[in-house]
Structure 1
Amino acid sequence: MALETFHPSEPLTLGVELELQLVNTHDYDLAPYAEDMLRLMRKHKLPGSVVPEITSSMIEISTGICHSPQQVREELGQIRDALVQSADKLNIAVVGGGTHPFQQWHERRIYDKPRFKEISALYGYLSKQFTIFGQHVHVGCPDADSALLMLHRMSRYIPHFIALSASSPFVQGHDTAFDSARLNSIYAFPLSGRAPFVLQWSEFGKFFDKMTRTGVVNSMKDFYWDIRPKPEFGTIEIRVFDTPLSVEHATALAAYVQALAAWFLADEPFMPAEDDYLVYNYNRFQACRFGLDAIYVDPARGEHMSLKDHLLTTLEQVRPHVQAPGAADALKKLSERVHQGHNDARWLREVQAKEQFLGEVSRQASLRFRATPQTT
């Protein structure tokens, strides 16, 4: 199979996908209600889409093509409100977060869809362990070569995205000591990690041809990279975010991606290099393990600094390029979170420390998702 033609898109447009948990309202464990939710959601006229995910206790929502964080917030809010109404009818709840805190993977059911069945047949138990929940952000690129350049520039900021979105400290009833344990599950897949360092689409096409000739790759969907090009959309897709606990925070993360992309296109602040990836896995691990308290190693200079400091410096660097409606407010909220050292993983741990019951953590997270005033 040949690599798809890259279809240019309007630069800096956004698309956001959120994978969400469906839980019962008895003990707040995952519940296999995706099919019922999809049936009810079809009655709503909404932007974007609502689709199943690999197991039947998951659902994925996505915006349409958005031009601003404000539009992302409005579209996600509309879909969120319809999800909450539908869930109430089924006596279940919808929850954000990168992992469910105490579900048991062996109890999950693979959703009845051919691609999911193929994945299950290939990957065995890993498919059910893939009951993890992420946010994906697409950003529009003017042409194929620009997309690859954007991808490799954006890779330096993967630790930012992980630490800001981290919301998966608990797995199978235990505190993992990671802020984002979700990404450890993704690394179990053989085609995860990072894209090869090529900056021309013609060279990427040669790589893709070699991979398809091996028989292990049929399409771009087979790559579980942290960032991958999406030629059919004319975007790059950033995939390391844990699903946030609220659509407001999901919007702020998308605003940060758009601001970085605007900075790259306007100023071309640096040229990426293969050597950037010498510290990539270390920086990635630090962000997964320690969140906003991580150490960041600058790929160009080898300098060690706090991830917080690097984040705050970058937020200042992109500020002149923040023009889209809703962007300035979103980045201000991110900056406040960084100053406080407070991500969703910390909030989840604080609730567990107070309640000593993970079911209550999940219940309160469901209220946070539906924007109940006392929990936002």
Structure 2
Amino acid sequence: MPVEHTLGVEEEFHLVDPTTGELSRSSPPLTGGEDTPSGHLGPELLCSQVELSTPVCSDLAELRGTLSRLREDLAHRAERRGERLVASGTHPGDHTPTITPSRRYEEMATRFGVVARRQVVCGCHIHVGVADPELAVAVMNRSRPWLSVFLALSANSPFWRGEDTEYDSYRAQVWWQWPSAGMPGVFDCYSDYVELTQRLVDSGVLQDRGMLYWDVRPSEHLATVEFRICDVVPRVEQTVMLAGLARALAAHCVAEERGGVPLPRSVPELERAARWRAARSGLSGELIDPVTARAHPAEKRVRTLLAYLEPALRAHGDHDTVHEQVNRLLREGTNANLQREAFRVRNELHDVLRATTVPSVEE
């Protein structure tokens, strides 16, 4: 029986010089956008960035194996060029990035100026199969109160230009500078979504529809909903956990829409506050419920999400895998903690890069 809610993941990584820690300025890019037996490897906006994309996966075990192979392939390629592959939401040091030589990326740099040149950030995008575009918009509408929890769980970018920003996810602060980042309002239907987004392109604000950078959106080319709010994370198991949560949330939203459950209403200001709070303190402080306008200890908010998604997690066989990794994060803290602990040993940003390096052989 075919799986209704399939999975796919895109992960972005930094390429750095292992001796100096500086961003790669190599040309041509590490990959030219080729397919491999495990998935797709492609360039990004900056020469110092590279992205992997998995094929469609049916379960978390398949996703884990695919991600491990793709990461290993990329790490090997980087090593052969004398570079290191780093899984951090930001590059921690000072940097002067180089735009990847392509017409589209060069046009983006011209149009958006310093905002484009500041995007020394790497995220994780999770695709969940939702074939009906009306349901895809419903997932976008219904999932928004929970996006801050995803950001808190994935937070992995405390350093920026050599300083501890005191944010667990400073990547989010940089990324939200794009005019189409963050979240729009609630859409009545798919045609409403298409009309508004096309106006953004027609107005000249966006270069094309590929620049719809919202934290969750219907994919432009695939029958999926794409969750885009997460930092890239160091360990494959953490990416798999986030994917399991995203699938459960999408499935639950679809079930509620089909069942006629009223849409929980929250205002954009509280949603922005919730996402900011998650970026600021990750799992160490409070997280905001934008529906009730109340703050709760981060662990309580995470546990509430797990309880909310319990039926969907069990239906997909993802319950134990997701809970194991979530519990580990709640015990140990975010990957931002990992970066800070690595830095404290010698006050060296090189140690942060080493702590977030993707190994060429899976550990």
Q: State TM-score, norm by structure 2.
A: 0.91
Q: Please state how far the C-alpha of 1:184 moved relative to its aligned partner.
A: 1.0
TM superposition shift of 1:185: 1.0
Deviations 1:296-317 (A, max 9, x none): 3333333331222011122133
Q: Deviations over 1:293-343 (max 9, x none)?
A: 232333333333122201112213323322577723431223313431511
1:13 aligns with 2:13: no
Distance 1:34 1:134, change over 3 A: farther
Between the aligned partners of 1:282 and 1:341, the Cα distance in structure 2 is 25
Q: Does the alignment pair 1:289 with 2:280?
A: yes
Gaps of 5+ in 1: 1-8
When structure 1 is superposed on structure 2, of 315-324 and 107-116 the one drifting more is 315-324
Alignment of 1:186-225 (within 5 A): 186-217=175-206, 219-225=208-214
Map Cα deviations across residues 13-35 of structure 1 (whole Å, 9 max, x no partner). 11110110111121222222473
- Give the conservation status (yes or no) of the 8 Å contact 1:37–1:86: yes
Amino acid at match of 2:288: V
Identity %: 27
CA contact (8 A) 2:30 2:43 kept: no
- Indicate whether 1:77 and 2:80 are aligned: no
Residue 308 of structure 2: aligned partner: 317
| Residue identity in the other structure for 2:197 | F
- Out of 8, 32, 39, the position equivalent to 2:25 is 32
What's 2:346 paired with?
Answer: 355
- Where does residue 233 of structure 1 map in the other structure? 222
Letter in 2 for 1:180: S
Amino acid at match of 1:244: V
Q: Which runs of 4+ in 1 moved over 6 A?
A: none
DSSP 3-state at the match of 2:356 = helix
Work out the CA distance in 1 between the residues paired with 2:197 and 2:165.
36
**How many angstroms apart in 2 are the aligned matches of 1:209 and 1:172?**
36
Please tell me whether the aligned partners of residues 274 and 289 of structure 2 are also in contact (alpha carbons under 8 angstroms): no
Deviation of the 1:155 alpha carbon: 1.1
Cα distance per residue 1:134-178 (max 9 Å; x no partner) = 111111113111111101211111111111111100000000000
Amino acid at match of 2:8: G
Task: Give the letter for the 1:17 counterpart.
Answer: E
CA contact (8 A) 2:46 2:120 kept: yes
Shift of 1:265: 2.9
Pairs within 5 Å for 1:258-269? 258-267=247-256
Q: 2: distance between equivalents of 1:195 and 1:315?
A: 25
User: How many corresponding residue pairs?
Assistant: 360
Deviations 1:226-249 (A, max 9, x none): 112214201121111111012221
1:175 and 2:164 correspond: yes
Gaps of at least 5 residues in structure 2 are: none
Letter in 2 for 1:92: E
> In the alignment, does 2:145 pair up with 1:152?
no
Aligned to 1:93: 84
- Mapped to 2, the partners of 1:228 and 1:169 lie a distance apart of 26
Equivalents in 1 of 2:217, 2:10: separation in Å? 15
Change (3 A) 1:34 1:273: farther
Q: Which amino acid aligns with 2:208?
A: S
Quote the residue 1:165 is aligned against: 154
Distance 1:304 1:257, change over 3 A: same
Distance in structure 2 (CA, Å) of the matches to 1:250 and 1:324: 20
Residue 4 of structure 1 corresponds to none
Q: Distance in 1 between matches of 2:153 and 2:126?
A: 14
How big is the alpha-carbon RMSD for the aligned residues of Structure 1 and Structure 2? 2.4
